[in-house]
Amino acid sequence: MRIDIITIFPEIFSPLDVSIIKRARDKGLLELYLWNLRDFSKDKHKKVDDAPYGGGKGMVLACEPIFLAVEEIKKHNTGSLTILTSPQGELFNQKMAKKLAKEKGLIIICGHYEGVDERVKTIVDYEISIGDYVLTGGELPAMVMVDCITRLLPGVIPEEAKKYDSFFDCLLDWPCYTRPENFRGLKVPEVLLSGNHEKIKQWRYKQAIERTRQKRPDLYKLFVNKKGGQDAS
């Protein structure tokens, strides 16, 4: 997949140069391009923002450089979807990530300051928020989305490793342990040491259900409805 990010702070994106995302990029599974919005400014000082009409504090990212950037990127990332990061957008979640991971390509616009000129919305396919809080810019949301979408791309991590991740089938993941068996009196549950794969599978599934019931009653409700309305506790 190809993802292009439009930002006034391309230097922020180093977290996408490490670990699994780096390996995905090295293997060519993710092609990531950062575009500095200032390169699309026609202003001699490379200014990309201006004061809001109607008054008020804060600056607004202007239409023209964003339109020009998207038009240029679309020549390279053909058939891509354009996303505007915004606290007012549809909430990003695993379901949306799975849907976006099937796209040919994405263009992500990072707002900053007071946000972007409203007319930018005429050239975007999705306005996406990563949560009900306000960040200083769209760079962290863009990184969150790229990270989450990339690990879902075929070949990035083994299918088995993500099959039962949290939110699969409306459940949270089960508890995980590794060596040692006993750490300061905190013991690994016997069943995981039993070698009985069927028992382990059942235990994990039950644990996933129980922790979902305790931690996320909203998801648990969905799970129960999916299973035909029977409370699994």
Ligand X SMILES: C[S@@+](CC[C@H](N)C(=O)[O-])C[C@H]1O[C@@H](n2cnc3c(N)ncnc32)[C@H](O)[C@@H]1O
Catalytic residue numbers read 87, 114, 151, 165
Which region, judged by CB under 6 A, interacts with ligand X, from 6-14, 26-34, 126-134, 149-157? 126-134
- Answer yes or no whether residue 114 interacts with ligand X by CB under 6 A: yes
- Answer yes or no whether residue 127 interacts with ligand X by CB under 6 A: no
- Answer yes or no whether residue 87 interacts with ligand X by CB under 6 A: yes
Which region, judged by CB under 6 A, interacts with ligand X, from 16-24, 82-90, 99-107, 220-228? 82-90
C-alpha distances out from residue 17 to 22, 26, 57, 58, 222, Å: 5, 10, 35, 32, 37
* # binding residues, ligand X (CB under 6 A): 20
- Answer yes or no whether residue 93 interacts with ligand X by CB under 6 A: no
Residue in 19, 99, 119, 131 binding ligand X, rule: CB under 6 A: 131
Which region, judged by CB under 6 A, interacts with ligand X, from 14-22, 33-41, 113-121, 223-231? 113-121
Q: Residue 61 CB, nearest distance to ligand X (Å)?
A: 7
Residue in 80, 111, 117, 151 binding ligand X, rule: CB under 6 A: 111
Which chain residues interact with ligand X by CB under 6 A?
Answer: 85-88, 110-112, 114-116, 129-131, 133-138, 141
